[in-house]
A = this chain, B = another copy of it.
Amino acid sequence: MPRLIYAFLLSLINIPYLSAQTRAIEFPDVPGFRTLKCDFHIHTVFSDGSVWPDIRVQEAVKDGLDAISLTEHLEYQPHGSDLPHPDRNRSYQIAKELAKPYDLLVIHGAEITRSLPPGHANAIFISDANKLNIRDSVEAYREAHRQGAFVFWNHPNWIAQQHSGVATLTDLHQMLIREDLLHGIEVVNDLTYSDEALEIALEKDLTIMGTSDIHGLVDWQFRLDMGGHRPINLVFAKDKTEEAIKEAMFAHRTVAWFDNLLVGRENVVKPLVESCLKVKEATYQGPSAVATVEIENISDASFLLKNHSPYTFHSDGDIIIIKPHQTTVVEVKTLQQMTEFELEMEVLNAVVKTNAHPSIVLPVKVDL
Q: Which A residues are within 8 Å of any B CB, using their own CB?
A: 1-18, 22, 45, 49-52, 54-55, 58, 79, 82-83, 85, 90, 157, 159, 163-166, 191-196, 216-217, 219-220, 223-229, 259-261, 263, 285-290, 300, 302, 304, 306-307, 312-326, 328-331, 333, 335-336, 348-349, 351, 354-355
Check A323/B193 contact, CB under 8 A, given A157-B314, A289-B165, A333-B166: no
Residues of B within 8 A of A318 (CB): 195, 351, 354-355
Asked if B227 and A354 sit within 8 Å, CB to CB, the answer is: no
Of B3, B195, B330, which one neighbours A259 at CB under 8 angstroms? B3
Interface centre among A226, A318, A325, by most chain B C-beta atoms within 10 angstroms, is A226
Residues of B within 8 A of A220 (CB): 58, 219
Closest Cβ of chain B to A193, distance in Å, is: 6
Residues of B within 8 A of A165 (CB): 288-290, 314, 331, 333
A319 to B285, CA, bound (A): 34
Asked if A289 and B227 sit within 8 Å, CB to CB, the answer is: no
Give how many copies assemble into the complex.
Answer: 4
Asked if A317 and B14 sit within 8 Å, CB to CB, the answer is: no
Closest to A91 in B: B82
Check A4/B261 contact, CB under 8 A, given A51-B51, A82-B90, A324-B11: yes
Check A12/B312 contact, CB under 8 A, given A159-B290, A329-B2: no
A221 to B263, CA, bound (A): 34
Closest Cβ of chain B to A36, distance in Å, is: 22
